[in-house]
Structure 1
Amino acid sequence: MPFPSLGLAPALSQAATDAGYLAPTQIQGTAIPAILRGQDVLGLAQTGSGKTAAFSLPLLQRWAEAPRHRSRRAVHTLVLVPTRELAAQVGETLRILGQHLHERPKIAVLFGGVSVNPQMMGLRGGADIVVATPGRLIDLLDHNALKIGNVSALVLDEADRLLDLGFAEELQRILALLPAQRQNLFFSATFVPAVEALAAQLLNDPLRIEVEATEATVPDIAQRAIEVDTSRRTQLLRHLVQQQKWTRVLAFVATKHAAEIVADKLRKAGIEAEPFHGMLSQGKRTQVVADFKASRVQVVVATDLAARGIDIAQLPVVVNYDLPRSATDYVHRIGRTGRAGESGLAVSFITADAEPHFRLIEKRQGLSVPRERVEGFEPVEVAVAAPAAKPLTAPGVQSPNGGIKGKRPSKKDKLREAAARVATGNKP
């Protein structure tokens, strides 16, 4: 199915082709006609499904066709995203896809972590499309730098992450300032109760589109699980990068501190590596992503949240240095590789203590990943067993350690016992 058959204008169809979209993905083929009709959409899709283009293309067309006052630009489309990297990514996609329009929209990308003043200056004269993180948008609204009372379309991208980051109150403030009559597009990778409640509040008779994670990511990704001791994971990562000649690797760790430590050790071993986490300045994060895309950096060691903004078209390898907290996060991580028809590799380091958690991930994702060992890195650690439970006795029966099972002495009982010992001359 070609893009023009979805109802897109020739300029947008050509821009999609120029951007490398050979044919619409599942979510694009379903969402684009609905959005062009003005219908609300609820999209449940994993990373790599093509959802950014799925809402960008039709919203650019609706903006181009909408009547507007030329004297001052009013915000037509508002896209809310959880992270600054994703804001930059969505803004860039909109610019690329809108490049052949007769009149190009003014796109403002707004996020925290940088001075608010340049963004305020950039909003002079208004903006047609705003891509923003909720916190920075509220800052700019409080400064009267822009108004959103005429917004025609609202997009919540990665709504589950917006709620995970605690943006619920900010979202409610923003929603209260928007016009009641508008188009709402809601995209999320998961549909937990909080996300479901927000969707019910936001959407009006939406078209529901579900793209299974396995359809979007898993078929093109080889998965490996390598057993290794906790203390030797960095050495194993270095060994694999060098032996397998991996050109670009995104390694996930649990904490900002771990990202710094692992990247530093890799650099000392002669591997170009950089940490990537929320405590870095925006300039540094932007530079790391640019260097990674240009292959000037070989390994990026990232936390889950920060890595949401890393979008590399041809990322060959993802490594779970630390396992993710949930099966859903596992899908998010491995979905960073194997995109756009490319094959990918996802490697998980399995320590003795992490083995039960990985079995749970396998169960919830319907996976069975054979365990491997790498010569020279065979693990010797054994998972620490839980302490044995004390022998149980029947209620009301004296236990070997004294006391009555099922009836713990109260504070008053203990005071009485102490007084009795004193009265009889026995020391406690």
Structure 2
Amino acid sequence: MAGALPDGDPVPRDGSLPDEATREVGKNGFAVYVHVPFCASRCGYCDFNTYTASELGGGASRDEYAETVLAELALAARVIEPGPVDTVFVGGGTPTLLSTDDLGRILDGIDRTWGLAPGAEVTTEANPESVDPAYLRRLRGAGFTRVSLGMQSAAANVLRVLDRKHTAGRAPQAAIEAREAGFEHVNLDLIYGTPGESADDFERSLRAVVDAGVDHVSAYALIVEDGTRMAGRMRRGELPYPSDDVAADRYLAAEAALGDAGFEWYEVSNWARGDGGRCQHNLLYWTGADWWGLGPGAHSHVGGVRWWNVKHPSAYAKRLSEGVSPGLARELLTDDDRHMEDVMLRVRLRDGIPLDRVDATGAARALSDGLLEPHAYDEGRLVLTLRGRLLADAVIRDVL
């Protein structure tokens, strides 16, 4: 089950924002995130704000969910006028548990409310077992341009430890089906460092990703979150805790295999074939754009104000049925907050960050330790080397 939301100041009942926050909304880009909180089953490592049928209880219906999201969108339209939407990302949960008609209604509502920019990137996440060729064709026809599939591994033993329900070969096959359905942009997600995963297991996963012909790969080290089933198993000694050394070896293997296949890193945990393969939605997050998050537990950011919705789908639906903002709390980011977050995110990007945005002493130390690219440094930018990517968190601490 997802962790508790942070504390903050109350959100006005109508969801209104300070004038200074809305004055230049969308100036640096505008995105919409839609959270779909439903899952057929819960993975052992997952602490996202998601619910299986048995966990939902009363007052929340998957069949009525699109209408509830559209009610929040109507409220949002009264609060801001951001101009065209550059990207839409539907995440979860498992968004593809909704019908393509419902996903299309939500996308159409966003277009009618704010307008989609020409060539807007529209992504949905999907579990491999939740889609088939016909569903993917309808999804493409509804206006989605990109699909992100949760593969995690091509090794059956690793999938069992993660409590994933799809077979080892299903995710690459779903990626091929997505391309055949007309999706030019397809991502496969990998998790590495799972207990019991061998180097050969991960190499097999990387080969499967490359052979699937996708243009984007995300690969993240396993993080064990408190309160998850996996954390309990580790606490009881049933599974070993992840190893930092193994995670580093896996990352180097990913860089080598993906680089040989024509992928380039553009964020520490993300690789794409060419600039066109990069996830534009995430880039907007990472470069300080505004976005509105629709759905229970969704976070939003507009003009230095960040807020988050109530977590449970029934509480979310109840507030909107009463004409009240589903926002639980919010915070006004200070200049120092925004600078810190800007550094934390941009340092992880291949494009890096101007040196005048970071601590000079820390940057010089990172350069001498071989963590920064000398050529970029000479040109006034901080860009991580491969070794620097392995130690990105330490570099961020130094340059802050």
Normalised TM-score (structure 2): 0.28
Choose between structure 1 and 2: higher strand proportion: 2
The structure having more radius of gyration, on CA atoms, is 1
Normalised TM-score (structure 1): 0.27
Greater RCO between the two (CA within 8 Å, min separation 6)? 2
